[in-house]
Amino acid sequence: MLLIDNYDSFTFNLVQYFHELGEDVTVLRNDAFVVDLLDEPHSKSVISSSAGGAYRDTGHEKDRLSIRPPFDKLRTTYSRLRFPEQLQPKRVCISPGPGTPECAGKTLDVIKAFAGHVPILGVCLGHQAIAQHFGASVTHAPEPVHGKTSLVTHNGSGLLAGLPNPLRVCRYHSLAVKEDTLPPSLRVTARSDDGVVMAIEHRELPIWGVQFHPEAILTEHGHDLLRNFLRLSA
């Protein structure tokens, strides 16, 4: 699994949970690489890495995710990775983090690169980034919720299959997906007791998002939810 770290203290809680479920995880900081997504097959561009990498001529490439990270931020033996020739994760997880999706380094570009190729799970900020990538708006939640639990009602499918309904979860967010802006390709699978979108899934692609934190100790059945993701993305 490739896990994109959006500079959040919960990132390695996710890593630990996945390790406990038997999953190998490679972690990349959201600014530790560059993403080259060219619309024209014969265009040329020069892209710089915000993590301090040198300028690089990307040459004639199309629909490729090119990565050149600092060694201290990448847990792998590669110094330069390219999707899909070298970087071939079976699944991708986008971590929580501060701020908005557009401020989260290359997170939106990663979703663009991998959507439709490998399964994706977004958590909190990652969930918001998935929704925004497909055209939804992210706005202020009715009120900030940090370190509090809520009961969410869900449809019992996908990530939430076999989990109690309602499910008690832990929330840390002041932004939320605006439900009436969701495109037809995304559906809501869970809502909080105050009506906020708590989970979404793509109708055709293996892509899921949860606004709450399954890796938080106050979330019930967090391991089971992540186990469902591994099962669905096997």
Query: Beta partners for 208?
Result: 121, 201
Residue 113: its pLDDT value, please? Answer: 86
**What is the mean predicted confidence (pLDDT) over 128-143?**
97
What's the CA gap between 179 and 160, in Å, rounded?
19
Residue 63: its pLDDT value, please? Answer: 32
**Is there a catalytic annotation at residue 215?**
yes
**What is the mean predicted confidence (pLDDT) over 149-176?**
98
Selecting among 127, 154, 170, 215, the annotated active-site residue is: 215
Residue 33: its pLDDT value, please? Answer: 73
CATH superfamily, region 2-232 = Class I glutamine amidotransferase (GATase) domain (3.40.50.880)
**What is the mean predicted confidence (pLDDT) over 18-46?**
68
Distances (CA, A) of 221 to 39, 163, 168, 194, 225: 42, 7, 9, 21, 6
**Is there a catalytic annotation at residue 127?**
no
Selecting among 154, 173, 202, 213, the annotated active-site residue is: 213
Residue 88: its pLDDT value, please? Answer: 78
Range name among 24-38, 41-55, 178-192, 197-211 with the lowest pLDDT average: 41-55
The answer, as to whether pTM is greater than 0.75, is yes
Selecting among 124, 133, 154, 173, the annotated active-site residue is: 124
- Look over the chain and give the mean of its residue pLDDT values, rounded to a whole number: 82
What's the CA gap between 65 and 56, in Å, rounded?
14
**Is there a catalytic annotation at residue 93?**
no
Range name among 57-66, 90-99, 111-120 with the lowest pLDDT average: 57-66
